Each structure stands twice: as structure tokens, then as C-alpha cells.
């Protein structure tokens, strides 16, 4: 077993990464590196890493606080819905590195996806990269109390994209924090984040930019049912779709809070039609629908 002390000795301290820091834990630390890893390794030392994240997940113990540390420069192909299945409760998956040196998970099939079915999971510092047209859904979260932090979704070209980047479905208390969801500037991606009965979801400090034909954040895409107590705060949202896409679309009976967001759209004839808050409370969410103009607080009706 790799202890906290062993891990810090090998890594030279608690390294800072885009998603935060490696968590201290009483669980086991596993290491993953596509460059030097092998499925026959133990994964318990930096000099004996596993080759894939899924290999490390399969060695974890549920609810033990195990941590998977993914090396800078790690490259992995997600070819199917079974390539990487996050199905062990209570684990943390931590990608090291900065910028292009972060671990890159490349989706190579339209049915490729990463299902997060376990609860109490943390995922940080990974790049999800589409290298084929019309990946149906990149990451799907059905576990409760999941944190996704400091991750990035992107496509390799205008015609190689995720139709849906992140799907949060039938869950409670999922947090998406400090993530980037970057679509191409031509039609292809439908939704950045889809909410379907995703109760108590928090989307905090995220950046969603590109052409989203439905909405950057949608609680209605694909016949989604209402989500309650959704919080969207401090986000930067740009939707360059000119025909249908809006910035935030909460279900008509969905509830929650939209606060301190900055949004841009090329679709709406007026800023207010680019945002549908459903039954959510709104405080200082700005929308602008033309270049060289300042944003308008939406909804425009002020509280009395």
C-alpha cells in the first residue's frame, strides 16, 4: 500500500494542478501512466504504474477513499461505453499537469462515453477530447455527490464533436466546478451540460463556449424532466448558434438559483429570449446578443 508519506515523497510534495490538489486520504494511492504503465503492474508506486485509469479503478475498494493519480502526458483512448467505467464509490481521480500536458482521454467512437455510476466520486484535471463526429454523450453522471473539477471538453475539429458533453441524469448533489466545455463555432454540439432530474446540481465558475444548437446548459434537451434546486453561478457562457441555441434553459417547472453569470448569444432578437430560467430565482445574470454592446440583466423585470 502507498501511504500519504510515500506518495508525497515520490511526488516531491503535494503538487498543485488545474483541479486542485491531490487529496490526503487514508485510502490507497494508485498511479497511472500510459508511457511506462502496464496492466501487470501493481500501480502502487510511481515506478510501477498501471496503463489505464480503468485498470486502477478496478483495483480500488469502495468507500475506502482510494485515490488514482494520473501522470502528466497520459494518453488514453475511450473506444466504447466500457473503456472507463467509474463504478467504485468514494474514489478520487486526479489528473496532473497543466494545459496540453494534462491527461487526455480521446473518444474514438460515436458510442464512446465515460459513465460515472458510483456516488461520492471526485474527478479533476482531465481533458475529454472528441476525435470523431457526433459522439453521443461524453461523460454521463448517474451517481450522487459527484464532483467534477478543473476538467475540459473539446473537439479536434469542427466536424468532430460531442453532441452532448456532460449529461447529469437522475442524481442529487452533483457539482461541476471550474470546468471548460468548448464546442466548435459551427453547428454540431447540441448541449454542453444536460440536466435531467439532476436535483441540487451546482455549476460553478465554468466556461461554456461555441455553437450549442439547443442550449449551453439545458434542462429540457432530449425530453429531460425537471431538476430542483439547481445553482448556476459565476459562469461565462457564449453560444454562437444563430438559429435556435440559447445560453441557459432551465425546465419550465425546474427550480434553483442563477446568479452572477455573464452570457453572450448570436441567436436572440433580444437578450431576455436567450435565457429561460423556468422557476429559478435570478440575480445579476447578464446577457448580450450583439458585439460591441454591454450586457443586460435578465430577466429584465426588477424585483420590487
User: Could you read off the pLDDT of 36-95 as tens digits, one per residue?
Assistant: 999 999 999 999 999 999 999 999 999 999 999 999 999 999 999 999 999 999 999 999
Number of Cβ within a 10 Å radius of residue 21: 12
Tell whether 246 is covered by a domain: yes
Counted domains in the chain? 1
Tell whether 9 is covered by a domain: no
Tell whether 43 is covered by a domain: no
- pLDDT of 1 > 60? The answer is no
Each residue of 143-173: b (16+ CB within 10 Å) or e?
A: bbbbbbbbbbbbbeeeebbbbbbbbbbebbb
- pLDDT of 162 > 80? The answer is yes
Tell whether 21 is covered by a domain: no
User: Could you read off the pLDDT of 280-303 as tens digits, one per residue?
Assistant: 999 999 999 988 889 999 998 888
> What 8-state DSSP symbol labels residue 273?
G
Residue 86 belongs to domain with CATH number? 2.160.20.10
Tell whether 22 is covered by a domain: no
* pLDDT value for 293: 87
Tell whether 6 is covered by a domain: no
User: Could you read off the pLDDT of 82-128 as tens digits, one per residue?
Assistant: 999 999 999 999 999 999 999 999 999 999 999 999 999 999 999 99
Tell whether 17 is covered by a domain: no
User: Could you read off the pLDDT of 176-229 as tens digits, one per residue?
Assistant: 999 999 998 887 899 999 999 999 999 999 999 999 999 999 999 988 999 999
In 3D, which of 222, 236, 221, 198 has the Cα closest to residue 276?
221
* pLDDT value for 269: 77
Tell whether 64 is covered by a domain: no
pLDDT more than 70, % of the chain: 93
Rounded (5°) CA angle 269-155-107: 135
* pLDDT value for 6: 52
Q: What is the mean pLDDT of the chain?
A: 92
Rounded Cα distance between 157 and 175, Å, is: 28
* pLDDT value for 89: 98
- pLDDT of 19 > 70? The answer is no
Average pLDDT for 257-272: 91
- Domain housing 142: 69-297
Amino acid at each position: 500500500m502507498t501511504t500519504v508519506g510515500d506518495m508525497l515523497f515520490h511526488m516531491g510534495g503535494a503538487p498543485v494542478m488545474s483541479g486542485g490538489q491531490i487529496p490526503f486520504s487514508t485510502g490507497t494511492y494508485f498511479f497511472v501512466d500510459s508511457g511506462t504503465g502496464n496492466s501487470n503492474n501493481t500501480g502502487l508506486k510511481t515506478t510501477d504504474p498501471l496503463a489505464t485509469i480503468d485498470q486502477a479503478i478496478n483495483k480500488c475498494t469502495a468507500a475506502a477513499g482510494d485515490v488514482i493519480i494520473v501522470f502528466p502526458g497520459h494518453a488514453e483512448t475511450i473506444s466504447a461505453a466500457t473503456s472507463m467505467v467509474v463504478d467504485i464509490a468514494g474514489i478520487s481521480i486526479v489528473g496532473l499537469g497543466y494545459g496540453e500536458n494534462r491527461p487526455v482521454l480521446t473518444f474514438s467512437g460515436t458510442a464512446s462515453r465515460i459513465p460515472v455510476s458510483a456516488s461520492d466520486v471526485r474527478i479533476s484535471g482531465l481533458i475529454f477530447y472528441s476525435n470523431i463526429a457526433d459522439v453521443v454523450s461524453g461523460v454521463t453522471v448517474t451517481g450522487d455527490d459527484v464532483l467534477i473539477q478543473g476538467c475540459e471538453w473539446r473537439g479536434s475539429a469542427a466536424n468532430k464533436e460531442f453532441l452532448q458533453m456532460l449529461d447529469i441524469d437522475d442524481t442529487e448533489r452533483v457539482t461541476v466546478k471550474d470546468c471548460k466545455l468548448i464546442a466548435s463555432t459551427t453547428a454540431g454540439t447540441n448541449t454542453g451540460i444536460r440536466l435531467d432530474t439532476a436535483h441540487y446540481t451546482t455549476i460553478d465558475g465554468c466556461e461554456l463556449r461555441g455553437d450549442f444548437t439547443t442550449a449551453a446548459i439545458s434542462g429540457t434537451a432530449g425530453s429531460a424532466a425537471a431538476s430542483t434546486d439547481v445553482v448556476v453561478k459565476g459562469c461565462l457562457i457564449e453560444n454562437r448558434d444563430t438559429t435556435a441555441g440559447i445560453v441557459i434553459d432551465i425546465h419550465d417547472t425546474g427550480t434553483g438559483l442563477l446568479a452572477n453569470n455573464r452570457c453572450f448569444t448570436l441567436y436572440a432578437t433580444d437578450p431576455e429570449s436567450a435565457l429561460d430560467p423556468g422557476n429559478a430565482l435570478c440575480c445579476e445574470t447578464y446577457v448580450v446578443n450583439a458585439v460591441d454592446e454591454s450586457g443586460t440583466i435578465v430577466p429584465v423585470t426588477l424585483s420590487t
